Amino acid sequence: MSIIVNNLSKTYSDQKAVDSISFEVKKGEILGFLGPNGAGKSTTMKMLTCYIPPTSGNATVCGFDITQQSLDVRQKIGYLPENNPLYYDMYVKEFLEFALKVNGQKSMVNSNQAIKNAIDLVGLEVEQHKKIGQLSKGYKQRVGLAQALIHDPEILILDEPTSGLDPNQLADIRHLIKELGKEKTILFSTHIMQEVEAVCDNVVIINKGKIVANDKTSNLQTRLAGEVLIEVEFENMVSETELNKIENIHAIEKISETNFILHGKESTQLRKNIFAFAVSKNNALLTLKQETKSLEDIFQQLTN
């Protein structure tokens, strides 16, 4: 196990930011840490990176305790804090060299190689001679990532690495995280569901300081699959009472006189029934589309 979190809590004066959470991250796994703003994601990450101590509970990173062996923990971690704080007055390479040195790297030969590798990896070649303050947001984010992985840490903790990026940059960064995940353990937080679906093996959903779901991404998607949504469109008007007579339907959302979203179970049988219904009414079926519930729905369901 790379990260083991055990009943970790953090209380700010009267408010419980993180309320006794426990989870584990296996070596080589990408864990998505999902939750609405203010759920306690950043606070948890700050505790894991030894920036602030927990009020109670404990956690280990690569077998090192976060309160007792803080320096060892910090050695193992590459951390991208929320809002990506950087020294805007420094040049990209200068900053990466500094990051490497404060991580304890001494030899110059290795450090030049490490800086070059990190720049290649995050795609900063074009901008590597500029000052950080002159870079666009997407490139600043890349510098932040380069800084986090410059000393080749076993674990990457990334706090909202994709916030504020445009769709292309977003795809790039996600791709990068996925690539990095092949060798490293990654814990990354986000409030965007698609990101988790696209990148993560496992997902922990946190709300108001408590864990509300902790599962494989694929399991979570099928968790609510017992219920299916079917979008239908008829040629002519249909009344809801007639539709209700179809077997296996629990609920009907009316969109217009001819369009409906039907909630039901046993997708195949249900679709057969709908088709039979249309035939019996001599009402042509123009659309019959099955929708699976996305993580977004699950997220909303769990955090409201």
Partner 1 sequence: MTAILKKEINLFFSSLIAYISMAVFFVVLALNLFIFEGNILDSNYATLDTFFTLVPWILIFLIPAITMRTFADEKQNGTIEFLATKPITDFQIVVGKYLAALILWFLTFLPTLIYFICVKKLSLENAPIDSGATIGSYIGLFFLGAVFVGIGIFSSAITNNQIVAFLVGVFLCYLMYDAFFRLSSLPIFEGRLDYIIQSIGLNAHYDSISRGVVDTRDIIYFLSVISLFLIATRTALESRKWS
Helix H or strand E segment including 216? strand 210-216
Q: Do 49 and 43 contact (CB within 8 A), yes or no?
A: no
**Is residue 282 helix, strand or coil?**
coil
Contact status: 71 vs partner 1 (CB under 8 A): yes
Contact status: 221 vs partner 1 (CB under 8 A): no
Which residue stretch of 51-59, 195-203, 219-227, 244-252 sits at the interface with partner 1 (rule: CB under 8 A)?
Answer: 51-59
Unique residue bearing structure tokens 């590597």: 128
Contact status: 50 vs partner 1 (CB under 8 A): yes
Cβ proximity to partner 1, 11 vs 259, nearer residue: 11
- From 102, 7, 9, select the one nearest 53 (Cα to Cα): 9
88-101 exposure pattern, b = at least 16 Cβ within 10 A, e = fewer: eebbbbebbbebbe
Contact status: 216 vs partner 1 (CB under 8 A): no
Contact status: 68 vs partner 1 (CB under 8 A): no
Calpha distance 149→274 (Å, rounded): 54
Query: Side chain identity at 32, as an amino acid letter?
Result: G
Contact status: 104 vs partner 1 (CB under 8 A): yes
Cβ proximity to partner 1, 101 vs 254, nearer residue: 101
Question: In this structure, how many other beta carbons lie within 10 angstroms of the beta carbon of residue 139?
Answer: 20
Contact status: 165 vs partner 1 (CB under 8 A): no
Interface size with partner 1, residues (CB under 8 A): 30
Contact status: 5 vs partner 1 (CB under 8 A): no
Cβ proximity to partner 1, 89 vs 247, nearer residue: 89
Q: List the structure tokens of 300.
A: 């909303």
Contact status: 161 vs partner 1 (CB under 8 A): no
Q: Can you give the binding site for partner 1, defined by CB under 8 A? A: 12-13, 46, 49-53, 71-72, 74-75, 77, 79, 81, 83, 85-90, 94, 98-99, 101-104, 147
